[in-house]
Amino acid sequence: MSSPNPPERRPVAAATAGHLDEPSSESPISNLTVVGGNPLNGTMRVGGAKNSALKLMAASLLAEGTYRLCNVPRITDVALMSEVLRSIGCTVHWEASDPVPDLIIEVPSEIEPVAPYELVEKFRASIVVLGPLLARCGEARVALPGGDDFGPRPIDMHMRGLGELGAVFENVHGYIHASAPKLRGTRILLEFPSVGATENILMAAVLAEGTTVIDNAAREPEIADLCEMLNKMGAGIVGAGSATLTITGATEMHSSDHTVIPDRVEAATYLAAVGVTGGEITIRGARHDHMAMLCQKLGEMGMRISPDADGLWVLAPTRLRSVDCPTLPYPGLATDFMPFLVALLATTEGVGIVTENLFAGRFKYVDELRRMGADIRTDTHHAVVRGVDRLSGAPVKAHDIRAGAALVVAGLGAEGSTVVSDAHHVARGYEDLAGKLVALGPDVTVS
Ligand code: UD1
């Protein structure tokens, strides 16, 4: 059973509606301090999906007009994507609405198809403006993203797919100069179901002449969400959520409103957190059908998870048993869940083998978990996690969004206090992680 997306919402009454302050694109958070030992109990609501909202924002570049995006998380990465859109010529602001503010994007008739290095180097997801800029303007200049803490993050599949639609590329002073006076639909077979490549090709193909078929497309729920918004804007996409996307090119598109799907990675963070501490929580808004494999794994570990009309009810005993966890493209276990699963397995009964099949370099936080007493051995893309009775709180460092959240999760069950430094990474993807945890019982402070 699945719960529906949050309903489309209208702005609050005119008397209270108005522009809200922009969340900072420079997070003021440096440390998250967790004192372990409190179980999680109560109800929380999951926010909108970061990985969907960022792409929906990029999609707005395809057509002039005003867009109202509902259920957008107020996180640093959204503030950075707003900066990218502004540098292209759009106006972006937040407007009060109930229960969460809406993001309003105004796209003018003339835009500057450039994504500058200063912004792209701060968050590489901005590469998804390449496809829509190319489709709308016939050209784009986007700074080449570098590697990151997951290791190298190439964009060869994005470029090959766009190339097959007719784009040509030049690498000039660290920027990709892409041009395509005319994009033409064709059959594109991706060698791997890359999320970003599927999105970039999709957002170019919607305005290409004729029909494009993307085979071996990524099937993540965030891509289905993007397809839904693109279709509302006038695109002709069939097969959303499947491995074959068929896109009939439109000559023109128009603006639209859209509500972002709930964030399955945020929901997974709270599932892992209650797995570590034990307790009983309800995660409002979480969609079981978007995280069925994770729920199955957690069930094998001893948790009880039951979907209801508006979320998930979760019961966790004080100690779970270990299972093996391979990451795979959707509907497999998401690589973004893996750091929480490793944190969880660090204290479960037995040994669990985690195999990371997407990002080879994604084990850096394991050294931090070892500082907390975790017994983990890594070898290339495997981690062998032997559960210990209890972790021991320690100063640790967040290397990326999910790794930082995983250290917080580990700290919730540890003895004493864990100080997660470089916590600005966490603010990139979580709206008020500390506040939402505190409301469920744990002792977490921000400094
Ligand atoms: C997106 C998500 C990220 C998630 C990942 C996999 C966003 C903002 N980020 O990242 O949180 O962990 O999907 O679910 O939505 N690859 C290539 N060449 C390419 C493109 C990708 O070799 O041109 C490789 C990558 O290095 C990686 C694999 O393909 O090994 C998957 O990457 P991809 O699905 O593209 O991830 P992202 O879109 O970058």
Q: Is 151 in the pocket of ligand 1 (CB under 6 A)?
A: no
- Out of 144-153, 290-299, 352-361, 407-416, which region has the weakest mean confidence (pLDDT)? 144-153
Å from CA of 198 to ligand 1 middle: 10
**Going edge to edge, which strands form the sheet with 325-326?**
325-326, 351-355, 382-386, 375-379
Q: Is the dihedral of CA 343, 348, 351, 356 positive or negative?
A: negative
Indicate whether 5 pLDDT > 50. Answer: no
> Relative to the CA of 334, which ligand 1 atom is closest?
14
SS3 133: helix
Indicate whether 438 pLDDT > 80. Answer: yes
- Which pTM does this prediction carry? 0.94
Q: What is the pLDDT of residue 152?
A: 62
Indicate whether 18 pLDDT > 80. Answer: no
Split at pLDDT 50, 70, 90, the class of 77 is very high
SS3 143: strand
- Out of 106-115, 119-128, 199-208, 418-427, which region has the weakest mean confidence (pLDDT)? 119-128
Mind listing the pLDDT tens digit for each residue in 196-230?
Answer: 999 999 999 999 999 999 999 999 999 999 999 99
Mean pLDDT for the stretch of residues 152-163: 90
Sequence-ordered list of residues with C-beta below 8 angstroms from that of 347, at least 6 positions apart, any chain: 276, 319, 387, 388, 389, 390, 391, 410, 413
* Options 1.10.357.10, 3.40.1280.10, 3.65.10.10, 3.40.50.150; CATH of 48-259: 3.65.10.10
Mind listing the pLDDT tens digit for each residue in 221-275?
Answer: 999 999 999 999 999 999 999 999 999 999 999 999 999 999 999 999 999 999 9
Q: Is 336 in the pocket of ligand 1 (CB under 6 A)?
A: yes
- Out of 83-92, 119-128, 288-297, which region has the weakest mean confidence (pLDDT)? 119-128
Q: What is the pLDDT of residue 150?
A: 60
Q: What is the pLDDT of residue 24?
A: 72
C-alpha 308/C-alpha 3 separation (Å) is 7
Q: Which of 188, 180, 196, 163 has its CA nearest to residue 358?
A: 196
Å from CA of 196 to ligand 1 middle: 6
Split at pLDDT 50, 70, 90, the class of 108 is very high
Split at pLDDT 50, 70, 90, the class of 17 is very low
Q: What is the CATH number of domain 31-45+263-446?
A: 3.65.10.10
Residue having the nearest C-alpha atom to atom 28 of ligand 1: 358
With a pLDDT cut of 90, the percent of the chain lying above it is 86
Residues in a beta bridge with 107: 65
Indicate whether 2 pLDDT > 50. Answer: no
Tokens of residue 177, six digits: 């100069």
Q: What is the pLDDT of residue 3?
A: 39
Mind listing the pLDDT tens digit for each residue in 289-311?
Answer: 999 999 999 999 999 999 988 89
Catalytic residue among 98, 148, 367, 400: 148
Mind listing the pLDDT tens digit for each residue in 90-106?
Answer: 999 999 998 899 999 99
Q: Map out the domains of the chain as residue ranges.
A: 31-45+263-446, 48-259
> Relative to the CA of 153, which ligand 1 atom is closest?
26
SS3 276: helix
